[in-house]
Amino acid sequence: MRNTVKFISLTVIGIVLIVAAIILIYKPIYKVTINGDKIGYCADKEALQNKINDYMENGEEGQQNVAFVQIDDMPEYQMCLLKKGITTNDDEIFNTIKETGITYYRYYAIADDGKEKIYLASFDEAEKSIKELKEKESRNSSDLTILEKYETELPSISTEKEAVSKLYEKKVVVAKSNQYITSSGGSKVSTSRALSYKKIDLGMNLIRPVSGILTSRYGYRWGSTHTGIDIGVAMGTSIKAAAGGTVSFSGWKGSLGQLVVISHGNGIQTYYGHCSKLLVSAGQKISAGQVIAKVGSTGRSTGPHLHFEIRINGSSINPQSYIGY
């Protein structure tokens, strides 16, 4: 019995000495990999990940008009033991990850009769510029609209004063002809505005591209313009063309992520944003109900859903009444 106790005591002491030796020689550290490839070691994975998250949200310090930075491949962390003489390389890891990022800038365009004329840094500046032009009775004030833009390159940004100066048109100027389509009542309706709540006869019927829950309506929200509707539905759900036409765009488009645009003639287009997979290409002829993409959460998105728009000559109209929402 005494020998057994002695043996157990020696064993415990031995284990303690081994652990103490490991602590003295080694320290816990994290191996950082991207897609299985090691890019270095860091001591505090939470601090590094917070730094990456902050960069994705705000970009470089001092950068103007950054909406977000898209980084597709996030790092993975695996705890291991390394000799204390080995140093970490957190900054190098961060810079390596930064190099894979795509910066998207948010700014606001003032469009005149649907054509972008000038760019400002904020919605408030654009709104104040239009308000001042209306007060000055600028001839084009009723045709001016504000468009929220997300692009990888930032155009030349103007001040409110410059915007008013460049956009102002005297009443004596000969008016430009607007583009019109006929409404269901037979009257002419201008399509130059970015947002329109009037139901217009499109000359065709639309089907629902997906069946789900309406999570965000058309119109102004959070101080900006939402030019379509959001329909919440499961990731990977098939998206159908609302009507027949020709694919005019299929690819990545800023905050809308993976996007399909179908042209239906007479200036009418439908937009399908945040897709996870695109199944058609530009120039392809599409029939109504044909599966064109899969629901996703790409671009500026908080979860899987379809962003659906209807545009006429570049200006949006409320899609809800056309597809039964």
pLDDT value, residue 190: 30
Given a cut of 70, whether residue 68 has pLDDT beyond it is: yes
Residue 196 has pLDDT above 70, yes or no: no
Between residues 181 and 82, which one has the greater pLDDT? 82
Q: Please check whether residue 257 is in contact with residue 275, taking contact to mean a CB–CB distance below 8 angstroms.
A: yes
Band (pLDDT 50/70/90 cuts) for residue 89 is confident
3-state secondary structure of 14: helix
Q: How far apart are CA 125 and CA 109, in angstroms?
A: 11
pLDDT band at 223 (very low <50, low <70, confident <90, very high): low
Q: Using an 8 Å Cβ cutoff, are 112 and 143 in contact?
A: yes
Query: Could you give the strand order of the β-sheet that contains 37-42, starting from the edge strand earlier in sequence?
Result: 37-42, 26-34, 76-83
Report DSSP state, residue 323: T
Give me the mean pLDDT over the 283-310 stretch: 92
CB 149 within 8 A of CB 108: yes
Whole-number pLDDT of residue 155 = 92
> 148 pLDDT exceeds 70?
yes
Residue corresponding to tokens 């947002």: 195
Q: What is the model's pLDDT at position 193?
A: 36
- Structure confidence at residue 239 as a pLDDT band (50, 70, 90): very high
The β-bridge partners of 189 are 181
| pLDDT score, position 221 | 58
Q: Are 211 and 205 in contact (CB under 8 A)?
A: no
- Smallest CA-to-CA distance from 209 within 239, 167, 230 is with 239
Instruction: Kindly indicate the confidence band of residue 244, based on its pLDDT and cuts at 50, 70 and 90.
Output: very high
Percent of the chain with pLDDT over 90: 35
User: How high is the pLDDT of residue 84?
Assistant: 58
Name the residue ranges covered by the structural domains of the chain.
20-100, 105-167, 203-322
More confident residue, 12 or 150: 150
- According to DSSP, the residues that pair with 216 across neighbouring strands are 230
CATH fold of 203-322:
Glucose Permease (Domain IIA) (2.70.70)
Tell whether the model's pLDDT for residue 134 goes beyond 60: yes
User: What phi, psi does 152 have (nearest 5°)?
Assistant: -85, -10
pLDDT at 111 over 50: yes
What is the Cα–Cα distance from 177 to 2, expressed in whole angstroms?
Answer: 107
Burial 232-270 (b: 16+ CB within 10 A, else e): ebeeebebbbbbebebeebeebbbbbbbbbbbbeeebbb
- Span 203-228, average pLDDT: 81
For residues 271 and 173, which has the higher predicted lDDT (pLDDT)? Answer: 271
Region 38-65: mean pLDDT is: 88
Residue 81: pLDDT band (50, 70, 90) is confident
Average pLDDT, the chain: 81
pLDDT value at position 279?
97
Comparison of pLDDT for 162 and 64, the residue scoring more = 162
Query: Does residue 316 have a pLDDT over 60?
Result: yes
Confidence of residue 237 (pLDDT cuts 50, 70, 90): very high
pLDDT, residue 64, reads 86
- Return the pLDDT at 26: 58
Concatenated DSSP letters of 54-123: HHHHH-STT-SSEEEEE-SS--EEEEEEEETTSPP-HHHHHHHHHTT-EEEEEEEEEEETTEEEEEES-H
Amino acid at 168: Y
Cα R_g (the chain), whole angstroms: 28
pTM above the 0.75 mark? no
Handedness of CA 210, 213, 219, 222 (dihedral sign): negative
CB-based contacts of 88, cutoff 8 Å, min separation 6: 29, 40, 41, 42, 43
Q: What is the average pLDDT across 35-46? A: 89
Residue-wise pLDDT tens digits, 22-35: 555 556 788 899 98
Report which of residues 84 and 239 the model is more confident about. 239
124's torsion region: left (phi>0), alpha (psi -120 to 50) or beta? alpha
The CA distance from 112 to 182, in Å, is 21
Q: Which helix (H) or strand (E) holds 252?
A: strand 245-252
